[in-house]
A = this chain, B = another copy of it.
Amino acid sequence: MIDEIHLKKFISILDQKGILTQDTDMEPYEKGWRGDHGKAALVLRPANTGEVSKIVSYCVQNNLALVPQSGNTGLMQGSTPDQSGIQILLSFERMNKIFEIDPVNGSAHIGAGCRLSKLNETCEEFDLHFPIDIGSDPCLGGMTSTNSGGSRFLKYGGVRENTLGLKVVLGDENGTILDLLMPLHKNNVGPDLKHMFIGTCGIFGLITEVIVKLAPNLKQQATALLVPKDLASVNILLREIEKRLGTYLSAFEGMSGEALKRGIEHNPNISNPFAPEGIPDYALLIEISRTWDKRDAEQSLDEILETTLEELWEFPNTPLANAVIAAPEKLWDIRHGLSEGTQKSGKLIGFDISFKRGDLIAFKNHMTAYLKENYPHIAICDFGHIGDGGMHFSLVIPFDHKHAKDTDFQTNLRKNVFDIVVKKFGGSFSAEHSLGRINMKAYQDYTRKEVKEINRKIKSLLSPASISAIEFE
């Protein structure tokens, strides 16, 4: 559905492999991870930054709408076209080159279309990895433009803290290439412009190459499931475990009983790790890890974890009700199955929110009372990252309840929850999934006027034209 003259131009920029126009070929690019389905005018698949620049330049000059996409694993509709059929999808999938792994520097220079799994497989021989731990297998471009976080954020930080350099194509008439590809760990030579492109979903410019930091592989892990005595004990456990195991601590995750129930129910390979007891109201998954194998005289991480848990049992007014040390794969399978299990169990209204760490449980308590009173048919299936204040606050409406299909109700509910998150608790409406089309209303509603004004101005300074699925306006 694209003008013949434009198509000819794109053919002159890209080779044949670079353009898809058939509906069946385009369909995979039009579908989002959470079931959204748009319509692209065509799909362009450039092979390098130069081609991206030419495409952007032409599109800006001719006022053609672009939607960038790399791994298309995002949850916020930031990488799929809308229904209009006039947006050109710009896929980075062919820009998946690994330009360099520098093991001494602990860095990798890769294309925006390189999958996380491919990067990590390639680093394997150097005993290194990119330490952002997430359930899906995104590409580095999307991870950078959304600033992915994940389960080991409390140890490694997110993509922002692990990015050394970027190459970006700006949304102007020249498709200006901005080269910020410095591989340095320490570098203070003025404004660190790369931060304007990290987490801004392509609005300020399209990330085409990245240099990321690599971390030594983890050679030993030990994990435990803890059942806190009550919700108030969660923060006590967090503090005490950080003191006792801080250097080793690589994850401190929370899982509600409702999420656990659904995760276990929908995954026949998993059973209740606390059986024969029932699934608890709340459980924590903690992981400790280190970069070396156990040496002869050294205690294993399991032993160290055990000693720590013994200390916590003996703690005055012990914050523990139950604890099980089990194999990491087994416990992570449970944790990573929560999202799918929850989604299958009813109509999901998902929130990716964050708080000061101490407020996370306070918010959960508040919402439990609020929903019980106002919407008793909605189940709270929250889980997430206690260690960094992030929470996947998943509300599930039974499929057969009228609200499951009532989009007005859902929009209203979403607004009510966000108001409580932001206004009552000073939290964030987007912890780690970034903006995307889904969060743009929240951005408009909850961003200070003066910040929106600055964002708009920076936008028009860096990328005057619109080149991504969303826009600051």
On A, residues with C-beta under 8 Å from B are 102-107, 127, 146-147, 149, 153-154, 157-158, 160-161, 176, 178-180, 182-193, 195-196, 198-200, 204, 215-216, 235, 238-239, 242-248, 289-292, 295, 297-299, 303-304, 307, 354-358, 385, 388-390, 426-435, 439, 442-443, 446-448, 450-451, 454-455, 457-458, 461-462, 472
Q: List 25 A-B contacts (CB under 8 A).
A: A104-B356, A153-B185, A157-B157, A158-B186, A160-B192, A178-B450, A178-B451, A182-B426, A183-B426, A184-B356, A186-B390, A187-B354, A188-B199, A188-B428, A190-B451, A191-B199, A191-B458, A192-B195, A193-B454, A195-B196, A215-B246, A246-B290, A295-B304, A298-B307, A458-B458
Identify which of B105, B153, B160, B245 contacts A389 (C-beta below 8 A).
B105
C-alpha gap A355/B187 in the complex (Å): 9
Q: Which residues of B lie under 8 Å from residue A442 when comparing CB positions? A: 189
Identify which of B186, B248, B428 contacts A354 (C-beta below 8 A).
B186
Known: A183-B356, A297-B299, A458-B458. A430 touches B191 (CB 8 A): no
What is the CB-to-nearest-CB distance from A178 to chain B, in angstroms, rounded to a whole number? 6
Closest to A288 in B: B247
Determine if B446 and A189 form an interchain contact, defined as CB atoms under 8 angstroms apart.
yes
Identify which of B180, B427, B450, B472 contacts A184 (C-beta below 8 A).
B427
Contacts A149-B186, A187-B431 aside, 10 further interface pairs with beta carbons under 8 A come to A176-B450, A182-B428, A183-B356, A186-B431, A188-B428, A188-B435, A189-B429, A193-B454, A298-B307, A458-B461
| 6 A-B pairs with the lowest CB-CB distances in the bound complex, closest first | A246-B291, A195-B195, A104-B358, A216-B246, A247-B290, A186-B431
Closest to A297 in B: B299
What is the CB-to-nearest-CB distance from A433 to chain B, in angstroms, rounded to a whole number? 7
Q: Which residues of B lie under 8 Å from residue A388 when comparing CB positions? A: 185-186
What is the CB-to-nearest-CB distance from A444 to chain B, in angstroms, rounded to a whole number? 11
C-alpha gap A239/B246 in the complex (Å): 23
Known: A102-B356, A303-B297, A461-B461. A247 touches B289 (CB 8 A): yes
C-alpha gap A190/B461 in the complex (Å): 16
Determine if B104 and A188 form an interchain contact, defined as CB atoms under 8 angstroms apart.
no
Identify which of B189, B198, B245, B427 contacts A291 (C-beta below 8 A).
B245
Q: Which residues of B lie under 8 Å from residue A103 when comparing CB positions? A: 239
Known: A292-B246, A461-B457. A189 touches B430 (CB 8 A): yes
What is the CB-to-nearest-CB distance from A199 to chain B, in angstroms, rounded to a whole number? 5
What is the CB-to-nearest-CB distance from A408 to chain B, in angstroms, rounded to a whole number? 25
Closest to A159 in B: B188
Q: Which residues of B lie under 8 Å from residue A188 when comparing CB positions? A: 146-147, 149, 199, 428, 430-435
Among the interface residues A204, A356, A442, which one has the most CB atoms of the partner chain B within 10 A? Answer: A356
Q: Is the interface of A mostly helix, strand, loop or mixed?
A: loop
Q: Which residues of B lie under 8 Å from residue A455 when comparing CB positions? A: 190-191, 193
Q: Which residues of B lie under 8 Å from residue A290 when comparing CB positions? A: 246-248
Identify which of B190, B304, B358, B431 contacts A472 (C-beta below 8 A).
B190
C-alpha gap A373/B215 in the complex (Å): 40
Identify which of B105, B160, B390 contacts A356 (C-beta below 8 A).
B105
C-alpha gap A182/B448 in the complex (Å): 12
Known: A161-B161, A186-B354, A192-B199. A104 touches B238 (CB 8 A): yes
C-alpha gap A199/B107 in the complex (Å): 23
Known: A105-B357, A244-B291, A289-B247. A389 touches B186 (CB 8 A): yes
Closest to A245 in B: B292
Determine if A454 and B450 form an interchain contact, defined as CB atoms under 8 angstroms apart.
no
C-alpha gap A292/B339 in the complex (Å): 35
What is the CB-to-nearest-CB distance from A409 to chain B, in angstroms, rounded to a whole number? 25
What is the CB-to-nearest-CB distance from A100 to chain B, in angstroms, rounded to a whole number? 10
Q: Which residues of B lie under 8 Å from residue A292 when comparing CB positions? A: 243-247
Determine if A454 and B462 form an interchain contact, defined as CB atoms under 8 angstroms apart.
yes
Determine if B447 and A189 form an interchain contact, defined as CB atoms under 8 angstroms apart.
yes
C-alpha gap A417/B178 in the complex (Å): 27
Known: A243-B291, A357-B104. A191 touches B200 (CB 8 A): yes
C-alpha gap A363/B457 in the complex (Å): 41
Q: Which residues of B lie under 8 Å from residue A105 when comparing CB positions? A: 356-358, 389
